[in-house]
Structure formats: C-alpha cells, structure tokens
Amino acid sequence: MTSPNLFIVGAPKCGTTAWYRYLGAHPDIFFPEEKEPHFFALDLPGFRRAFSEAEYLDLFSDAGNAAIAGEASVFYMCSKVAAEEIHRFNPNAKVLIFLRDQEHCIPSLHQQLLFTFDDTMQDFAAAWSLSGRRPKETIPPTNQDEKILDYKAMGRFREQVERFAKLFPRENMRIIRFDDWVNDPRSTYVEILDFLGVRDDGRTEFPRVNEARFHQLRGLGRFLQHPPAWVEIPKRQVKKLLGVKTLGIADAIAAVNLKKGYTEKPSDRLRQEMRSYYAAEGQTIDDAAAVIA
C-alpha cells in the first residue's frame, strides 16, 4: 500500500482546498476523498476523522502506484503536536505550507468558522479582541475545538513553521505565498511539481475554489449542518435502506441558502492593527519564510 509522503499542513484560508484539487487531478498524485483527516493533530480531537493508523492508511488504499500520496489538513499548522507526529510517521515526507497576509487570512477564517458554526460571534473585531480569552458562553456547542477561536494564535506563522523546520530538512519544505499563486497559478503549479519530483502534465486551468460564503438564513444553515437526532437517525436508516451515501435533499436546500462573499469586512483601522500586531511579534509571512530560507 502507498503510504502518504506529502502533507499540506495549512494555513487555513490560504488556498489549501484549491491545491488539494489541482494536485489531486495530476495522474501521478493521489489525494484521498477525505480532504482533512487531521489524524496527527492529537491536540485537536474534534477535527480528527481517523483515529487509528489502520483507519488512516485505509484512506490511501486506492493510491495504487502513485508517486505522491498526500493529504491536506489545515489545522496541522496550529497543532502543537502534529509536526512531531508526522515526522515520527514519515521523516522523509514533503511538507507544503500555504500562507497569506494575516489581515486577509484571519478574517476569512472567521467567516469560514461562522459558516461551519464553529463560531457564532458575528463581529470579527470583537472576536479578534477576545483572542485567547473567549468567555465560555460565547463558544457554541457546535464548535469542534475552541483553540481555533484564538484568532491571534492562528496567525502566528513563524512559530508554526518553526515546529516543522525543527524536524524536517529544509529541502523537504516549501512555503507558497497566496498572492504569488493567485497571480500566476501556472508557474506555482510547475514549481510545486518540481518540488515533488513529478512531471508537468500541462495543466493550465486553475478555477477558484472554496470562496468565502455565508448562510442567508443562519437558522436553516445550522439545522442542515447540525441536524438534531430526531432527523439524523431516520435519515441514516433511509440511506442504509436505499444503499446511498446521501439523499441529496439537504444539499439542494443548502445550495439555495448559500451566498458567496462576506457578511462584513474588517475596517482599514482593524487591518492595520493586525499588520502591526504580527510585525511586532515577528510572525509575518517574511518571518516565517526566513525560518526555512
């Protein structure tokens, strides 16, 4: 069985989903259907989708003879143990890190967590100011792990990269900047393929993936994403009876309820505050890139 040798470890909202799809379509690269197993993030149990090594490796059972078998779990970056666990599993693995200026990345993450109901504090400025000290009553029961609500910590890129750089050879690590790949995805694609040691398949189409979105009716969105037991139990029974993975009804309703974009955008003043915070802390993208330079 092909064992994973490529890990896209984050950061969230920096292009990981797009590159999971772009690279996963390459004939010599395999990614499992489960994009974010978070198997090695032992300190983020709410996000783990595989709980034993056998279960994890089973995700790669269809990899065949692919030269590269990879996975993309965006919260490996903020996990304090994932780097060590991945290194223990495969010390020769390649590590891809996508980074974006925090003034854009962190508000986008907040929007995503509102969409998944991991956060329900609509005001980003308030959520930012309460980083690392959120009152328990502001953490919704649908939150998978409250650590991800520490928005300031989520953007501490240098210390996150350092956890991997202490373990993996520099030549096995690559940082890709969001603005660079958005401006020239074809060149970035060729660069990544060269890093992975696989041929260029000539791909030229790089459609936008996983754009910011929100629920028009949040109550309906929550009901569809987190249905109560009295809905979920009979739904599972019907799917089992019909022999299908999904009924498609909730997906169709959710699609109508979904809108692309942001419910709000941070003020210029708040963006400047974020820039100043990370610069003063030595946690910018440049600081992170210098770690593996």
pLDDT one-digit tens code per residue, 249-263: 777 777 788 788 888
Q: Is residue 1 domain-resident? A: no
| 166 and 254 fall within a common domain | no
Q: Any residues with CB less than 8 A from the CB of 19 and at least 6 apart, and which?
A: 8, 72, 96, 98, 176, 181, 192
Write down how long the chain is.
Answer: 293
pLDDT of 238: 66
pTM: 0.90
Task: Indicate if 241 and 187 belong to the same structural domain.
Answer: no
Cα 56 from Cα 16, distance rounded (Å): 20
- Is the pLDDT confidence value at 223 over 90? no
Quick check: is 265 in a domain?
no
Burial class (CB in 10 A: 0-12, 13-18, 19+), 217: exposed
Is the pLDDT at 222 greater than 90? The verdict is: no
238 with 123, same domain: the answer is no
What range defines the domain where residue 89 resides? 6-211+274-292
Task: Assess whether 122 and 134 both reside in one domain.
Answer: yes
Residue 128 covered by a domain: yes
Asked if 17 and 111 touch (Cβ cutoff 8 Å), the reply is no
CATH number at residue 75: 3.40.50.300
Does 253 lie in the same domain as 154? no
Q: Three-state DSSP class for 214?
A: strand
| Residue that is written with structure tokens 């799917």 in the block | 239
Q: Are residues 79 and 117 in the same domain?
A: yes
Cα distance between residue 35 and residue 18, in whole Å? 11
Are 55 and 172 members of one domain? yes
Same domain, yes or no: 252 and 196: no
Cis ω before 255 (30° cut-off from 0):
no
**Is residue 20 one of the residues assigned to a domain?**
yes
Exposed / middle / buried, residue 251 (Cβ in 10 Å: 0-12, 13-18, 19+): exposed
How confident is the model over 127-150, as pLDDT tens digits? 999 999 999 999 999 999 999 999
Q: What is the mean pLDDT of residues 166-190?
A: 97
Question: How many domains in the chain?
Answer: 2
Residue 243 sits in the same domain as residue 139: no
- What are the backbone dihedrals phi and psi of residue 110, each rounded to the nearest 5 degrees, phi first? -60, -45
